[in-house]
Structure 1
Amino acid sequence: MKNYILFLLLVIGLAFAKAQNITNAEYFIDTDPGVGQGTALTVNNIGNDITDSFTVNVGTLSVGFHRMYVRVQDTNNVWSLYHNFLFYVDDATPITNPTLPAIVAAEYFLGGTDPGFGNATAVTLAATGNQDQFMFDIDFSSFTSCTTTPFHLRVQDANGVWSLYDFDPALLIDFDAPVADVATLADVQGTCEVTSLTAPTATDACTGIQVTGTTNATLPINSNTAITWTYDDGNGNTVTQTQNVVIVDNTAPVPDSNTLANVTGECELTMLTAPTATDNCASTVTVSNDAVFPITSNTVVTWSYDDARGNTTTQTQNIIIADTTDPVVIGQDIIIDLAGNSSISIIPSDVDNGSNDNCSAVNLAVSPDTFTAAGIYTVTLTATDATGNTGSTTTQVTVDNTLSNEDFTLSKQISIYPNPTSSMIYIKTTVDVVQLDVYDLHGKLLLEKRSSLGSLSVESLSDGVYLMKVTTSTGEFTIKRIIKN
């Protein structure tokens, strides 16, 4: 049998009103023989706390679990409460992690009188997930808050063995929550954001110990909010207090470009590229403008930069619409006939074949536009857009008698009206008309009529100049120039 065990003695902070030097120490195993009646230990280092080692003879102990208790005495001959620990005696190889009997019951008593094992106030043990740790409730409702009482607790194992009690000589009864040191917390202000907070304090109602508040606020704080501080005295009493966090931002966004470049466009602009600005608080800057699209003339657009905190900056930008492209002029050659008249005129659309401009409609002009003799003439067709850009081209006008060798006397016997017209042409004549034919200026037959010859509808024709051939029953004919508008 193993006869001796070496123990390390560590005794710190004796529970005396004023710390005294430790002069003596004693131990006992399992059963307390009484204060001063245990086995004396040699104290090698006298002081307020000691660390020492000593050898205990366990040869007389039975195999199994035992508990050792140690207490010390000071220079005033006052003995401390004991410290204890469990050990195991075996006559063979020591057991590694021996299985202890399960704790099945617990009881406590208050004050200085022990009612005896099994006679104290029983408690219901609540499992914590650790077989050696339990939770239980104690009813202190009959006590006055901020008072103390001796508290003793012991447990019983599955073998029916009661432990010695653990002892708190002055258990504090505390029902009162801490009291905030400042009734109303001052607002915390920050520019753009708050990255740290100074915890306020409260005072424990019973001990007078200062309690530091805690908060679950997430830092940094970048918007106005109210945070909650919690003061916990460690005895189950808490109180909360709110504090306003005010984010101050009085600085407007700064445009990234001091001056915005002019934006130019030809004809019109249907969109603009937004400039940017930077905010001192790194907030998202909303950019907007006062433009009305499409922009078709020179104007000044105002951009606004808003940081969503009530700060706005504006900046202007010149919009220049510059149409520098000349119209595209497309002409066509035509043939016209004097038809016995002293002169004949054309209009710009007669020699136009789809002239156009990139931005606007065009005004057309032709020169010359009046002819008094047969021949081939070069005319100039000019197009002018809304901004004054011009373009021109030349075409040929052939003036001849390709449609008739008319009788000038017959021409005087036939008249038409109204001319110009938008719909109907009426024929007034003193001769017998048997046929009406309408040609374009290129000599292409467009309309013909052989009955009801007192009128002719030209509604189907496009606006322009046409030639109408009037034929009589004798085979004679004359040419009349008509204008459709």
Structure 2
Amino acid sequence: MKNKILFLIFTVCQFSFAQQGLYISSGGFLHNENSIITVVDGDFVNASTTVLNGGTLQIKGLDGNAHSISLDNENTMDYLELYGISPIELDGQLVLNNEIFMNDTSSFIMNTGSYVTLGPTAEIVGESITNTITGADGTYFKTTRNHTSGVTNDFGIIGVITYNGSTSMGSTEIYRRYGTFDINGNPTVKRYYEINPTVNSGLDIEAHFYLSDVDLNGLERSSLAAFRSTNNGDSFTKEGGTPETFFHSVSNIDAFSIWTFADASILNIDEFGANNVSVLPNPATHSATIYSNNNQRVNSVELYDVTGKKMFGELSNENTLNVSNLSDGIYLLKIFSETGSVTKKLVVKK
């Protein structure tokens, strides 16, 4: 089959292929809309410049051997259904309109360079402690959904669920990424989340971040704490939270960015805290300087007014914040260091 060019037009029907699988060579054509393609104990390879557009792809790995889905271009499917005990590997880029469904004890592995985009209503269904999804470093799931405060948002069951909240984030881009960071010489788990909301301040949200056992990277789930980065992983602040059986719970989240998980003992010595930080002068007229009593380096700041609106705030090399362009009033200054964050009240009075 691999030596021939296939010119196949599939309409509303089902086709099954066993053993060697289905190979669509360069120049081949496969119209998959509204059809079901089933491959049993074989591989699905689309090496054609004509990509799949809709339909259902079923991979049934019953022999326990690894089987692959190889795509030379980004392909769109309505459903990807995995059955059996065999690990199924993805080599390529995939867009799902409806769902990826995992049955039995199958595992889904994204090889280097692969990603899956979940459409506006697509979901991950059937992932569990026995039906696992993993990926090589740099692989990811991605979706964009609208977030509404006060209700539960599962974002297509991508792995993070938000509850409560006082502010709607609006259109929110979420990545479930695979890879590790190093925090002060300590490794993180192999999964992390990047969350990019339209509105990203004053949220007061509770979030559950799901982690499979295969993501733990040798760490004990019960010893994990959440860590947040606002500079693409160059540094982290410790956000804590509570480890649960399958997820990590964090309350009172004011803003999102990159979130990962590592041993809670990291950064316990000389931890950043309210008693170790001063902002002077306060009230401030033209500028205010941040002083760390235990000589910890301040990485960045976020400045908000009392309504939760984020204001422009940038430090000089001397940890000094220019406030000359601010109106008189009370502001909240969130200060980030290598070992945590602290929020201080700043009064501006001209």
State the TM-score, normalized to the length of structure 2: 0.25
* Structure whose CA Rg is larger: 1
Higher relative contact order (CA 8 A, sep 6+): 2
Tell me which protein shows more strand as a share of its residues.
2
State the TM-score, normalized to the length of structure 1: 0.20
